[in-house]
């Protein structure tokens, strides 16, 4: 029980909440789009049951991810995916990710749309949360994930617009979020069962690899961003 009051546990909880806010902001948009065709009196039911189904499915996926991360080299692959996700967060592609989400005028149809869309969109979220949960003791990883998700859901569903406005006003939040994913990627690599015999298992190396991952995401993200920026217009 005392593990629930350690600094490592609460740092991991904070990481999970931040990941959910940064990578789960689209969920509120998906919910709104899926329920827009429902009668007004059914929209609340659609939101509640669709969100509940998505949460249960995500916990199951993360439980599988936590088990799979014990397989040699899978943490390494997951870390590479997290670096890619962090870069995409800093330098996103300009496209309409929600254009294919159709609303439904039937309650069950809207619920299914929310669950399926969340499943497709939550792969990055699942990998990132599983990586963050590695910072807690093995016996408490799944309770940590569930606790983090439960805390995050109200923020995502009801606070997403505020968070989006804050991100627009303070772009450094997105930058720090991308670097957080890089940090998690670096620390994941450090504890990969296949690499443990070749990397010193002390806190200095652990933190150094986290910093290296964060700086790598920042450097590549900024480079990709600069490549996509339109060239300055020449004076007539």
pLDDT at 18 over 80: no
Number of neighbours of residue 164 by Cβ within 10 angstroms: 14
* pLDDT, greater one: 42 or 124: 42
pLDDT at 79 over 60: yes
- Could you tell me the CA-to-CA distances from 145 to 16, 48, 55, 133 in Å, in that order? 7, 20, 11, 7
Rounded CA separation 187/211 (Å): 9
* pLDDT, greater one: 217 or 234: 217
Helix 107-121 to helix 40-68 angle (10° resolution) is: 30
pLDDT at 40 over 70: yes
pLDDT interval class at 236 (50, 70, 90): very low
Sign of CA dihedral 6, 7, 9, 13: positive
Give residue 212's pLDDT.
Answer: 96
Percentage of the chain modeled with pLDDT above 90: 8
Q: For residues 50-61, b (16+ Cβ closer than 10 Å) or e, as one string? A: bbebbbebbbeb
Contact 25, 156 (CB under 8 A): yes
Q: What is the pTM of this model?
A: 0.67
Rounded average pLDDT over 37-64: 78
Contact 193, 78 (CB under 8 A): no
pLDDT at 98 over 90: no
pLDDT at 1 over 70: no
| Mean of the per-residue pLDDT values of the chain | 75
Rounded CA separation 76/149 (Å): 24
pLDDT at 233 over 50: yes
Residue 17's nearest CA partner among 168, 156, 164, 138 is 156
pLDDT at 215 over 90: yes
Residue 118's nearest CA partner among 16, 29, 38 is 29
DSSP 139: G
Give residue 38's pLDDT.
Answer: 76
Rounded average pLDDT over 154-169: 64
Rounded average pLDDT over 6-22: 75
Contact 31, 158 (CB under 8 A): no
Give residue 96's pLDDT.
Answer: 47
Rounded CA separation 212/100 (Å): 37
Instruction: Read off φ and ψ for residue 57, nearest 5 degrees.
Output: -60, -40
């Amino acid at each position: 029980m005392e593990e629930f009051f350690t600094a490592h546990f609460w740092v991991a909880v904070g990481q999970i909440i931040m990941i959910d806010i940064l990578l789960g902001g689209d969920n509120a948009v998906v919910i709104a789009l899926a329920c827009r065709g429902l009668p007004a009196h059914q929209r609340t039911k659609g939101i509640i049951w669709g969100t509940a189904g998505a949460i249960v499915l995500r916990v199951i996926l993360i439980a599988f991810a936590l088990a799979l991360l014990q397989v040699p080299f899978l943490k390494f692959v997951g870390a590479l995916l997290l670096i890619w996700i962090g870069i995409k967060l800093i330098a996103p592609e300009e496209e309409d990710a929600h254009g294919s989400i159709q609303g439904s005028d039937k309650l069950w149809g809207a619920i299914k749309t929310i669950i399926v869309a969340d499943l497709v969109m939550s792969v990055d979220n699942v990998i990132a949360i599983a990586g963050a949960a590695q910072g807690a003791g093995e016996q408490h990883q799944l309770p940590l994930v569930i606790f983090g998700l439960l805390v995050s859901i109200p923020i995502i569903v009801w606070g997403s617009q505020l968070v989006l406005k804050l991100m627009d006003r303070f772009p450094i939040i997105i930058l720090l979020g991308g670097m957080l994913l890089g940090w998690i990627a670096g620390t994941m690599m450090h504890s990969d069962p296949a690499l443990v015999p070749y990397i010193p298992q002390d806190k200095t190396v652990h933190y150094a690899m986290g910093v290296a991952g964060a700086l790598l995401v920042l450097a590549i993200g900024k480079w990709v961003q600069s490549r996509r920026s339109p060239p300055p217009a020449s004076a007539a």
